[in-house]
A and B are shown apart, each in its own frame.
Chain A
Amino acid sequence: MKEQDYINIMNRIRKDHIENAMLWDGSAQKDSRSIRRLSLGIGAIAACIAVVIGCIGYNVHLEHLANPSGETSGAENKEQLNLFGGHGEIKCTLGNDSSILYSDDEYFYFPTNIGAGQDNAAVGGPSPDSFSYLRWEKEGGSVCEPRTYDGILLSDGERLYTYHDEQLFITDSRGNETFCSSVPWKPCRIQKLGDDWYFLSAYIEDSWIDGSPQPYVFLDMPGEGIHHPFNYGDVRSDGKGDTLYFRSENQIYSAPRKSPNQKTLLADAGDAPDAIADWTVDENNLYYIAVSDDGFQYRMKPLNPDAEVKGRDSIITNAHYYFNMQKSELFSVSYYYHGYEPVIEVCASGEPVFPPGASSELYPYRVTMAELWGDHLPDLDVRPDMTFFDTDEYIIFTLPQEGVHGEQIVQIQKSTQDCRCLGVNYVPQETKPQETESQETEPADITNAASDLNALGGRGKIRSFQDLYTNETGFAEDDEYIYDYYRGRRARKTGGDLVFEPLSLPQIPEYDPDSDQMPNLFITDGMVLLVHDNTLFEVHPDGTQTALLDLIADSAGDPLTDLTIFQLFGFAPDASGRPGKLFLNGTVQNHSLGGAIMDLNTGTLVKLTTDENAPYNFKVTDDAVYAIDYYFSDAQNQYIGGLVRYDDDGKAVPVSTPEWGIPNLPEAIIESNGTIWFRNQHDEPLKGNVEDHSVTTVSEDEFSRHNHNIPGAACDVWLDDAAHQLKFRNSEESGEQILKEFHNPEWEIVIRGFYVENGVIHIAVSAHEYESEKLISLTVFTIDGSKVSSYEITNPA
């Protein structure tokens, strides 16, 4: 394959995909990725399955085109089917964000991969030739079915339109088309502005990159056809058909219909990004929601008959939550904190939304967010991505984030106020899982004297597994349990089945298998540390705690408040062998430390200087702390660096030279003798000397012997990804040994860490399911010379 072919293919990746990747932040996204998916429409979920499902709509459509008269053939029932392959007339309901909900006698059809389309930045690339949609039964059932409509079907909320052969047609439910207009671009949205006045949007190839004109146009029907190319996609009318209203960034303008470029400024919400959350207009007033750090401000501006500002802005209300703004609709959805409990609430009061909350008698749908989302609450400080529809019979809205049971859509029947949740994978929760019982009975199992127990409630010495490359720890074991203490849980080593239970320390949050929250618990070799109340404590076996460091003030008398430790990278032992220094990452008074060394004996905290991006990789050896992938600028403003060592003041001193050619994020081993093993930018294996700054090319064999080397032990351990095997090699013996073969390629295998005790090596390895991240097994290998033993606990199916 030619490089240029590869480049050409990748160059066609759309902007939205690139933005998604370039702005991706794994740590930040863990909780918010579901929101993101929904913000792009539920299509990500729907389309995933849709590709294998028949393109019913278009097939019916094509069939009809082949037989436009609708005469019956052998398949007498087919003319009964509408464009979606269902029965009855297709009805269209316009949503709050210009989305369309289709329905027929039996089903709702909700397009998911065509958003509001007000801004081509939201989609990128050309208008699609098909769309995914979710289909669900109007009555009964809880599962949405992802499907694909293969063709261009549009609606302005009233009529159906189809597009092909560069022509736009008005169509009926069964595909009987009437020519409407010639349109050179594939449209993706049509918006009715007046009885004979429409706004048509399309996306064209790469318009977002090369600055080509946006093909936003106005369409007069019947008559003049397309005219007035326009630069703005977010437009409204007041229903009279003479005035156009549109938004440009944070400004809202009006303009005469016939001269849309003669604009008049109506409102300016300032320079902050996305300062207007929503807006609408009627013949007398402009309403908009201004966003600030303090929340949402609902504003109203009176207009005169010429669509000019008649008077001063009036602030209707300030709110810390977003309140759907649909003046003419008969419902609103609020999304806010009720006391301390966040709730989502629907008010179908029949009253206008403004002023918000004016009528609050009826709440057919009210659910706490904790019920819906557990600990994965959406961010209430931003406008939630929710689409609302008000059909004759139902209120339907999408949730801003998929619920813990798969809830994506809520449907409320107005007459009965019956409420249904729906989702592609939604499973209504009728009964509680049985885990609760077993969790409650577990504490009774600990019946022996407390003196037998260690600080984590188990028995025997606590030993932590250290990551081979990063010095991090997250798993530990004692004689009785293996601890996944980043998640505040533990499992018994014996018994075969992997059953986690919560750690019983009172400062550890309740066990939540879905939570990524890391308690401030850190385990060293035999020592348990806990951060709470601005103090670093050592936890003793009897449950008592000794303050090691009062974090309120350091030894220099400077205030050192609000220390939050994100991560402990490593420890430096003092003369007694106990941890004397902690190498950590965290914040002080909400300012990131990047990396810092805390001396437990003196209480001093030395911040390590880092470059503007903070290096990913810190290495802690017995006598020094290094940062790899460190970049800074010299006097000529050239990037130099790569590996630095920190002095006592936390200043970074370059160790590597440009000749080392350290690449981005190298995987490197630093040995206690000051040798670093790494691959350079050209993937060549090298060893560098941190003392004399020399660098030497080494053989692959020599490199491999060191790069997987377990510090303090003459052996290597690594994952052979291709063979899906965990391998081990004793440096003093020839040949490698397969410790374990993982037969299921769907699993992710992770070496959790190691520790060496009395010359015996202990290695923890876990297997997970990729999609669900469900832990399948935990295996701990014990290697004593040539003797290998292991224990494994597995998750029951």
Chain B
Amino acid sequence: MPDLNDSQLLTLFNQRDQAALAATEKQFGRFCLRIANNILGCREDAEECVNDALMKLWNSIPPEQPHSFAAYLSVIVRNLACSRRTAANAKKRGGGEFTVALAEIEDTLASPEHPEAVLDTIAIGDALNRFLDTLPAETSAIFVMRYWSDMSIKEIAARCGKGQSKVKMTLLRTRNALKEYLEQEGLR
């Protein structure tokens, strides 16, 4: 089956045609698997997570009519993967790119006096959005790929057509700028 565009996929879902699931898995399965795997660090768990996400997608469309399948599905996958990770690693940090990404950014987000504590996740999240608004589109994309999707540096470099060194430096500078921004906002 050739790849379908978002509108065609949406039509299949709206018609309750199960070919929608096969087509979605074919087109986005690996993409979702990477997101889940980056968070969970375990292929088997990631595959289960993707299956769950497809089921959730099936149940949500209709009535949902997502504007972009890739973005919509990635949100579902990430949320499921985070929930699964939270449940599995309640006491101990697991492996995977998630841990690496968290280690990178925790110094930026956490209070310097109390590194274990974050002042207000809602306020920081909202400030983060405002901060991302100020970034060039590519820098914002790189940041989101790293800390929202937990993609590896290598993946991001391949996706953006940049060197790994450049991606790392972009992230470093963005984290530094975010740290300053949060300080200005009184959030760290």
Contacts and interface: CB of A to CB of B under 8 A. Distances in A.
B96 to A, nearest CB: 7
Contact of B70 (A22, A638, A750): A22
A770 B109 contact: no
The listed residue with most A CB atoms (<10 A of its CB), out of B106, B134, B169, is B134
A13 B70 contact: no
Contacts of A611: 30
B47 A639 contact: yes
Given A5-B121, A665-B152, A721-B165, A11 B82 contact: yes
A22 B71 CA distance: 6
B58 interface: no
Interface string A207-224: 011010000000000000
Interface in A494-512: none
B70 A50 contact: no
A340 to B, nearest CB: 30
B26 to A, nearest CB: 7
Query: Dominant SS at the A interface?
Result: mixed
A639 B79 CA distance: 22
Report the interface size class on chain B.
Answer: 35 or more
Contact of B135 (A2, A30, A48): A48
Contacts of B142: 21
Interface string B122-156: 10111011101111111011111101110010110
A18 B74 contact: yes
A272 interface: yes
Contact of B137 (A15, A20, A748): A20
A441 interface: no
Contact of A21 (B41, B79, B144): B144
B15 to A, nearest CB: 12
Interface string A334-361: 0000000000000000000000000000
Interface in B47-85: 47, 60, 63-64, 67-68, 70-71, 74-75, 79, 82, 85
A51 B181 contact: yes
A78 interface: no
Interface in A679-723: 681-683, 719, 721
B134 A51 contact: yes
Contacts of A47: 133-134
Given A9-B121, A12-B126, A37 B136 contact: yes
A15 B7 contact: no
B148 A749 contact: no
Given A37-B136, A271-B11, A665-B154, A20 B144 contact: yes
Interface in B99-130: 100, 102, 105-106, 109-110, 115-118, 121-122, 124-126, 128-130
B72 to A, nearest CB: 8
B169 A770 contact: yes
Contacts of A196: none
Contacts of B96: 681
19 contacts: A9-B124, A10-B125, A12-B122, A17-B132, A17-B144, A20-B144, A23-B68, A24-B159, A44-B133, A51-B134, A132-B133, A271-B8, A613-B30, A616-B158, A664-B37, A681-B37, A681-B43, A748-B166, A750-B163
Given A26-B159, A26-B161, 13 more contacts: A6-B109, A12-B125, A17-B148, A19-B68, A20-B137, A21-B140, A21-B145, A48-B136, A132-B133, A211-B60, A273-B7, A639-B33, A750-B163
